[in-house]
Structure 1
Amino acid sequence: MKIAILTFDGFNELDSFIALGLLNRLKPLGWKAEIASPSAQVTSMNGVTVKAQQPLEFANRADAVIFGSGIYTRAIADNSALLDRLQLDPLRQLIGAQCSGTLLLARLGLLADMPACTDLTTKPWVVEAGVRVVDVPFHARGPIATAGGCLASQYLAAWMMASRAGIDATTNALLYAAPVGEKEAYVERLLNVVRPFVLES
């Protein structure tokens, strides 16, 4: 599994790095999640500069794609030259979005009539784009998923892992990262959110 975590200037560290860390727990199964960006390096909303591991176009050939959020997402959504670099295929790929990343899915026409999750700041823009926003942390339909709230990035990662590697492998990966003293309860709660939406691989 090759996974592109789309990360733009002004990105939210929690969105990109939590998903990156969790998904790469499945490296022994051949999984590899990488930061894909439109430029050689990007700087986060809190001033952390990182080098892109892959160009933006890596998303077009990846097995799964996550759109992270950030403070400039609205401008990115209006940048057709940038979005035209993405040619995603939900028949072949799992595609997820976090918070304002949901606006990019809407702009790319990937949400159709499905309800979606986003953060409170982005909600008016997503509604303006013709999408019905639901007040839940995670929702998916088929190969498309959205999550709302920075820490909801764990749901996107868990959904992708469970949909392609199965519940057992996902449980083991999440247990490693879960807080000590509440590992089983933490993982069960997380999986209860995504389990109804998991695709059979």
Structure 2
Amino acid sequence: MNIAILTFDGFNELDSFIAFGLLNRLTPQGWKAQIASPTAQVTSMNGVTIHAQQPLEFANRADAVIFGSGIYTRAIAENSSLLDRLQLDPLRQLIGAQCSGTLLLARLGLLGDMPACTDLSTKPWLVEAGVRVVDAPFHARGPIATAGGCLASQYLAAWMMASRAGFDAAAQALHYAAPVGEKDAYVERLLNVVRPFVNDSGR
């Protein structure tokens, strides 16, 4: 299971790194999440520069894709030469987006008429694009999912793990990262959020 976490200049560290860390807990099961970017290096909204592990086009052949958010996402959404590098296939891939990354899903025509989650800053842009924004941390329909709020990145990771590796494997991976003294309750609550959207193509 190869996962591309799309990470652009100005990226939100929580969006990219939480999903990255959680998904790679399934490395023993053959999972590998990697940071994919349009340039060799990208710098976060707080000044952390990282090396991309894969080019942006890695997303086209990955089994799953996550669009992270960032302070320049609106400009990226208007950059057709950049978005044209992406040829995603929801019939084959799981595709998720975090906060302003949902705007990129809309620009790529991947949302259709489904409701979507995002952060409060991005909501007006999505409404302007004709998307119905819901007041929820996570929503999915079939292979497309969106999450709103930086820490909601855990829901995207949990949804992907539960969808492809099953709830038991997802619970084990999340249990390792959950706060000590709260592990069982934390994992149960997290999985209960995504459970209605796993293997549900009609919601």
1:36 maps to what in 2? 36
Q: Quick check: 1:135 aligned with 2:127?
A: no
- Secondary structure, in 3 states, of the residue corresponding to 2:112? coil
Q: Which secondary structure state, in structure 2, belongs to the residue aligned with residue 5 of structure 1?
A: strand
Partner of 2:77: 77
Provide Cα deviations, 1:94-137, integer angstroms capped at 9, x if missing partner. Answer: 00000000000000000000000000000000111110000000
| Aligned counterpart, 1:123 | 123
State how far apart, in whole Å, the 2-side matches of 1:148 and 1:171 are: 22
What secondary structure does 1:171 align onto? helix
* Counterparts of 2:56 and 2:166, CA distance in 1: 28
- After the TM superposition, list the runs of 4 or more consecutive aligned residues in structure 1 that deviate by more than 4 angstroms: none
Provide structure 1 residue ranges, at least 5 long, that are not aligned to the other structure: none
Query: Hey, what does 2:175 align to over in structure 1?
Result: 175
Q: Which residue of 2 aligns with 1:19?
A: 19
Alignment match, 2:55: 55
- The two structures have a TM-score, normalised by structure 2, of 0.98
Is 2:65 the counterpart of 1:65?
yes
Q: Does 1:102 align with 2:108?
A: no
Secondary structure of residue in 1 paired with 2:180: coil
Residue 153 (structure 1) aligned with residue 153 (structure 2): yes
Q: Is the 8 A contact 1:164 1:199 kept in 2?
A: no
**1:199 Cα offset (Å):** 2.1
User: Within 2, Cα distance between the matches of 1:61 and 1:187?
Assistant: 31
Q: Look up the equivalent residue of 1:34 and give its one-letter code.
A: Q
**What CA distance in whole angstroms lies between the structure 2 residues aligned with 1:5 and 1:128?**
26
1:125 aligned partner, one-letter code: W
Distance 1:146 1:162 in 2: 15
Residue segments in structure 2 that go unaligned for 5+ positions in a row: none
The number of residue pairs the alignment matches comes to 200
C-alpha separation between the residues in 2 aligned to 1:23 and 1:113?
28
Q: Aligned Cα RMSD in Å?
A: 0.6
Q: Distance in 2 between matches of 1:36 and 1:127?
A: 28
Q: Which amino acid aligns with 1:103?
A: L
Letter in 1 for 2:156: L
The DSSP-based 3-state class of the residue aligned with 2:65 is strand
Distance 1:164 1:157 in 2: 11
In structure 1, what is the Cα distance between the partners aligned to 2:190 and 2:78?
Answer: 34
SS in structure 2 at match of 1:140: strand
